[in-house]
Structure formats: structure tokens, C-alpha cells
Amino acid sequence: MEEPLILDRYRPLADLGSGGHGSVVLAFDTKMARRVAIKRLPLPRDTRGAVTRPAGLAEARTAAMLNHPNIVTVHEWDTDADEAFIVMEHLDGASIAEVLDATGESFTLDEAAAIMAGVSAAVDFAHANGVLHLDLKPANVLITRDGRVKVADFGVSALTDITGHASGVAGTIGYMPPEQVRAEQLDERTDCWALAALMYEVLTDANPFDADTPEGSLFRIEVADLPLPSEFESDLPRAIDAVLIAALAADADERYETVAEFTAALMPYLGDAEAGRASFAALLEDRLDDVDDETGYTPLGLWDRLAPYTGAFRRVVAAVASAWLAYSAMEGLGLDRPARAVAAAVVALAAALAPGLGAALGFGLFAIGAAISLGWATGLVIGLVLAAFWMARGRKGRTDAFAPVMGPVLGLVRAAPAAPLLLGFVYPPVVAALASGVTALAVMAAAVVSGSESPLLSVCSTYVSDPLRPVLVAIDPVSRLFTPGAGVVVLAWMLAGALTSLGCRRATRTGALAGVLAGGGALLGGYAAWSWLSGSFGPEAFALDLTLGIGIALVVTVLGAPMRPEEE
């Protein structure tokens, strides 16, 4: 089932796991059209339940500083009301822990060499930039489909201070040396110990320091005799025993000083790293090809796939709508067609570069043209409505700013009631209600100018070419809009937009369908009320328009879930 967007951008697809420091989800980046992995870290709360200083945020900044081929790339970090998010590249592969669980046996010396080379390069680079990892373990070392090794999750890392030390933080039992378990000062030797514990497990498929409690792990590190790696794997070179025993000393002063020293001591007894990477590539290709890439994933809808192009779409809509408003207004000023075309092109260019400016120019010119063509009273009303709407939405240049222009276009094909439902599909309730109300007025005004009868839903095709040339009618255009029935319909449109938006808040097709049906019900009630109040038309006057409008909204919903943030 679809879920709301994370940070108004990332569509959750599947859970990738959880641990002591947070959970990880696979998501689709709707702006960049790529998959990402997002680590979610709950923000701490005080005794009153209020969110305090974001936990994990400083660590996310730290991780974002690192750019290395053997480190998982961090694209973004951010927070919302109660969580911090670390957005990382999604790798097509598996962790060392997953490979060990799947095969049930240790890695070959060639494969161990590939792991050691990749992890040590990543950690050495982090140390050179003042960053400790502090949570090296098989689950945080990933192998890609092409055999590359990458270190993930610097979410519990800490910047070293000027002395090269950092305060103790939580890691994972079995991969923490004594000083980390006791929350004492940490340095590069802490990661050296964790890397040695990792390599011990890589070579033996065993972790001799794992325990149920920190105290139990300390006992196995400081008191119990450490089994030699060769006792688990008799084929291992005996020299590896001495290197790992030295790196796993309980006293930090007895270990290797740096990751580089440890790597230089161990690598001569391992195999060929290039051969190891080729072995991983073959292993993972077979393993991953047996699993459907979409299994357990939420399928992406059409709107998610088109999301990267919304910026361009918004500018195109702004340019076309603003140019049409300007072109229409110029007739009232007595300009010929070439001059009108030039003016429209200038406004279109301004709208494409700055949609908010284009909306201001288009709305302003249209109001002036309406005052000249339809009378100052009509122009004043149109100008005030458009000015208020521009202040609320148009100055931001969002697509909904041009909803009053797009509503009459739907009226040309007898589908105007789709407007509030589509606005509710895309925007939050308040925005959808406001835009729907103004769009209802625009549709009815266009219908009046076109000579349409109540309930003012259909718009004549001549409206597109000459919107400010009214058809002669017996009743003043403005007075036809300000009737009890018309007022009820404007409120019905606003309610329809809000109800549809509320149904779409969970960003699921099911919720959106319920919202569209609820919004359609509000529209039906509004027009039925107008029919009853006026007594001049029956259900047949609005049945076709409502059917087409609701049908269009239902098709849009079926094609893809709404793109809505988790918290609006």
C-alpha cells in the first residue's frame, strides 16, 4: 500500500530493516527518479513529551562530509516534526551479514582480501577527515552486484576533537572494544578493534565477543581466552592468528595504532582482492537474479514516475495561462492581433522564468481588459478576486495559482466539476478549498460570458479566443453570479476540494478514491440545492458534467497515488 511522501519528496517502497539506532526504508526519489535508502532516526523528547535537540542530526552532517568510493553516498539529511532522516544511495547488493547467513560458511581468502581492502580504505579516509565510524559490523558492510565493497551507516559516528578523541557512544555488542562499552574516550584504535572483530567473523563465520549484555561481552574480551581463528578454519595461515590477536587486544595501547598499520600487517596473508571482487560479483548475480526486484515493493504510480518533470510542467502551465490572459486582455485595449501576440509572448517568457511574475501580469491585464470590455463594476470584482488569490497563492508561482484559468478549459468539454477534485488530489485541504472556490467563480463567470444558462457549467468554445466579448444576455453578468444558488455551489466546490484532499492525506489509492467520491457527493449536493432553490433546471442540467468530472478524477486516482508529504 502506498504511503505518504517522506520530506515531501521520497515515496516509501519497502522496509529494509531496523536496529537500535533507527529504521531503514527503501524509497523512490520523486525529484531525481532514483531509488534511495533512508535511515529514520526518532527525535528525543523531554519529560513533557516535547521534541528536544535532534538526535542523529550531527552524525548525519558528519557522514555527509565523506565522499569516497568505498563509502555509501549520503544525498541529504533533514528532519520533520519528530524524526531525522539520512538519505543515502541505494545499492543493488547485499551486506556481509546477509551473505554469511545465506551461505552458512566463511569467506575465501580472496573475498576476505576484497573486504579488508574496501573497508580499510573507507575507514582510513574517514579517520583522515576526523570521523570515527564506531559501528563497524557485517550488517554495515555492503557488497554491490558488481563486487564493490562499501561501508554504510555513519549514523553513530562522531567527529573527533582536536586531540583525536571523541566521547563514547552506543555501537553494537560484539563489535565494541572495552573503552566503547564503558563509554570512555575513543580514537582510531576503537575502529581498528571493530575492524579486526569484523575480519575475524569474515574468516571464521564466528564472533567470539557476541553476548546478550555489555557485561557479558566485556567478560569475553577481557577475561576469557580468545580462540585462534585457525581453530575454526584449519586452512587459515597461522600468521593471521597473530595479527588478529594483536588487533583485538583489550588494552588499546597494545593494538595497532592505525587502520593502515593493521591493514599492512594482515593483507600479505590474505588472497587476491581483485579475484575476491570477481567472486562476489558472480555470487551476488546468481543470488539476486533469483529474487524478483519488485517483490515486497510498493509499485510506483504514474505520478511518482512523472514527478521529476513537475517543475517544467509548472512553468509551461504558467507560460500558457499567462499568455492567454494577456492576449485576451489586449483586445479590450484596441490592439491588433500582431501586437496582442507580441504582448502575450513577453508575458509568457516572464511566466516561464518566474511563474509568480507571470501570474501577476496575466491577472492584472485580464482585470483591466474586463473593466474595459464588461464594465468597470465587473472588472473591479474580477480584479479584487484575482488580486486576493494572487496574494494567497499566485505570488508563489505554484501550479494551483492558475486553477481559475484551467477550470473554464474543463468547462469547454463539460467536465468542470473535475477541477475541485483534482485540486484536492494534489494540494492540502486549505489550499484545495481556496483554489476550488476561486475556480468555481471563474467557471461560472466564463459560462455567463459564454451565454450559458444555469447551473453555469458549460463554456462556449468562443470563450477561448474572445473571453472578454460577452454574449448579450437579459441579466447583468455580475448579478447572475451573486445568487443564493451560485453561492451554495461555490461552497460545494470548496467542500469538494477539502474532502478530496482529506481522503488523499494518506497518499494511497484507496483513500484517494474515497476522497474523490466524497468530493463528488458534495458537488452533487451543491447543484441539487441550487436546482431546488431556483426551480429553473433539473438534474439533467448538471448530470453529464458531474459524471465526466468525477470520472476524470477517478481515472487520475487509478493511475497513481497522490504525492503527499507525511506531515502537512
Please choose, from the candidates 254, 109, 76, the residue with its C-alpha nearest in 3D space to the C-alpha of residue 177: 254
How far apart are the C-alpha atoms of 398 and 310, rounded to whole Å?
A: 11
How far apart are the C-alpha atoms of 244 and 202, rounded to whole Å?
A: 12
Q: Are 70 and 150 in contact (CB under 8 A)?
A: yes
Please choose, from the candidates 497, 515, 496, the residue with its C-alpha nearest in 3D space to the C-alpha of residue 506: 515
How far apart are the C-alpha atoms of 210 and 313, rounded to whole Å?
A: 55
How far apart are the C-alpha atoms of 418 and 505, rounded to whole Å?
A: 19
How far apart are the C-alpha atoms of 209 and 425, rounded to whole Å?
A: 54
How many angstroms separate the Cα of 374 from the Cα of each of 30, 270, 386?
Answer: 45, 88, 16
**299 class by beta-carbon count within 10 Å (0-12 exposed, 13-18 middle, 19+ buried):** exposed
How far apart are the C-alpha atoms of 530 and 1, rounded to whole Å?
A: 39
DSSP for 435-456 reads HHHHHHHHHHHHHHHTTPPTT-
Residue 5 DSSP SS3: strand
Longest CA–CA span in the chain (Å) reads 104
How many angstroms separate the Cα of 292 from the Cα of each of 95, 288, 289, 296, 297?
Answer: 18, 8, 7, 9, 10
Q: Quick one: residue 451, left, alpha or beta (phi over 0 = left, psi -120 to 50 = alpha)? A: left
Task: Show which residues are catalytic.
Answer: 135
Q: Are 429 and 421 in contact (CB under 8 A)?
A: no
All residues at 6 or more sequence positions from 243 whose CB lies less than 8 Å from its CB, including other chains: 262, 265, 266, 269
In angstroms, the first-to-last Cα distance of the chain is: 20
Map 336-348 to HEC letters: CHHHHHHHHHHHH
Which triple of cell numbers denotes residue 120? 580499510
Q: Checking DSSP bridges between strand 22-29 and strand 34-42, what pairing results, if any?
A: antiparallel
